[in-house]
Amino acid sequence: MLKDIATPIRTKEILKKYGFSFKKSLGQNFLIDPNILRNITEHAGLTKNTAAIEIGPGIGALTEQLARTSGKVLAFEIDQRLIPILKDTLSPYNNVTIVNEDVLKADVKAVMDQELQGFDDIMVVANLPYYVTTPIILKLLMEKLPIRGICVMLQKEVGDRISAKPGTKEYGSLSIAIQYYTEAEMVMTVPKTVFMPQPNVDSAVIRLTKREKPPVDVKDEDFLFFITRSSFAQRRKTILNNLTSQLPNGKEKKEAILEALQSAGVDPTRRGETLSIEEFALLSDHLLPNFKK
């Protein structure tokens, strides 16, 4: 039986062998508890017919568990220094491909087409660098990649926002964008103690299952997300005030905004956090004719 990479002793050995030092700018926090990693792969529902896409494999702790439970692993690693380390730590596994690219700049679809041929079930599973969690998740969803879903470790606060319901202080434009594409659920919380170095924040694992189709029909998806972002620009402001200040020529077109709110059945004195995704969809369709950029 191969020794797990994700133990404190083995992790220290690997870091020492390669003289590796953590880069704060890359948000590097390595997991040192194999049980947590096995739990993540379990929540992702992997089989040998599944291909896993990983972002930020580090020294290969999660990658190794993915290689054991899925048919193929495609991992994107931005840090050039980790490539030789991964080559070494993952040498027992012949079903892993490491791409030395920034996933935010990479043509993920093209790499998937090349590397994951023959896999119909594809799942993103990762311990995401916390400083770029949101842009990465939104990129994966907005590029409409052929994935079943996303199961990732992230900052608990971001997990709370992603899975939040209307009327809560965590609910915002991020909740709406992600729940438009997926069903979101937080599946576990993770203590700081299982990371090296320990982060300053609590962590959680969230599972996003892609919807067959969005929960609402809208005339223009991008415009819907623009309206939701505008509605939360200043949380304490009413939706009318936010839209007036955020929409192009909003002050001159205040009457049109009021009319759209009225047509959508939304009281102008409400705050953005009280509106459901259905209400935002209706509102964006009524605003579209006057404000499409």
Tokens describing residue 250: 């909003």
Element housing 125 (H / E): strand 121-127
Of 154, 149, 184, 181, the residue nearest 50 (C-alpha): 149
Q: Would you say the C-alpha torsion 57, 60, 66, 71 has a positive or negative sign?
A: positive
Q: HEC profile for 174-192?
A: HHHHHHHHEEEEEEEEECH
CA separation for the pair 288, 293 (Å, rounded): 9
| Residue 71 known to bind ligand | no
The response to whether 285 counts as a known ligand-binding position is no
Residue 142: other Cβ atoms inside 10 A: 13
249 annotated to bind ligand: no
Buried b (16+ CB within 10 A) or exposed e, 217-233: ebeeeebbbbbbbbbbe
To the question of whether residue 200 is assigned a binding role by annotation, the answer is: no
Would you say 222 is a known binding-site residue? Answer: no
Distance CA 118, CA 171 (A): 39
Which residues make up each annotated binding site for S-adenosyl-L-methionine? 29, 31, 56, 77, 102, 127
Q: Which segments are annotated as binding site?
A: 29, 31, 56, 77, 102, 127
